[in-house]
A and B are shown apart, each in its own frame.
Chain A
């Protein structure tokens, strides 16, 4: 999308609102970004209400040049740094989690919130409503270490939600690493 046609969005508390339903529908149908207000599971990619983006989605779309974001004055859009600063206030560990979000998006996955599965992200090959999520991803608390409790949680949760549970972390060089844990009874 050319820079001139950036979709305007507005920060309201901890969400980024896409006011125009046509814009929201466009974002949803091109990669499943955002969620229409008050529709739990959108059946179609066309809807008639504003939609909300998470900060992860907003930063990614801002970087791609798809959207612009303002707070009060539509003529004063935010830059990346300002957006990250706001996101950090609202979402603990935002930047580290964002690295994983972006890595997964760049790999071509559809990345949606994973809270209802007890993780950071739910990852789809095609998208919600088309296929079930392939796996869920938790970004580990400390970037270079895995603790016993994280291993156990990952293994147990994978069993209970019947999905592959992936722990993601970034190495010192900033590369993202993914590990799958599964519980076994030897």
Chain B
């Protein structure tokens, strides 16, 4: 059996550094030593098989216990691909977000805004054989945090994706077009490359939206790809 194929190196500037001074919580939590780069073994090449049988999907976050959540209903859809451009089928996508008033359904969130009892803010979907996913939700509201003076997070939705290889694991946030808070947000702006950062903003898509029912937004995910060329520094 031949050795596992390596992953493509991270494109320069395309990921936020662990030490991102504008985001205060990174100060004491980022490792100061560089990680040790290893050649992938089976451990890094394979990944847990997240099956819908074991992790049931729930794709409509706009309804909780049969009741409609408040706010602007949205449909978000797109594809999950790898850097080689191949679709990632049967990929588990976890989703969580604040309600339309900017409040998380969570005891840690003490923001003084009315919590929507009909919005729990958790979703889970799987991509189909072509890497497509879609879910229904409510457009999340902005909310304050204590990072700097009068700091507010832009509207965003959190995602957690499991790919087909351990190194494809991705946790990220999706933002909305035209949000004036984006320019002020240290989390969004931590990614040095402007194009990479802007790819975290979804696009309005009238084909995804449903007439007289919901606006649609497109958002594609790209997971790390494989490098066909041999490792430069095999161990």
Please say whether chains A and B are actual partners in one complex.
no
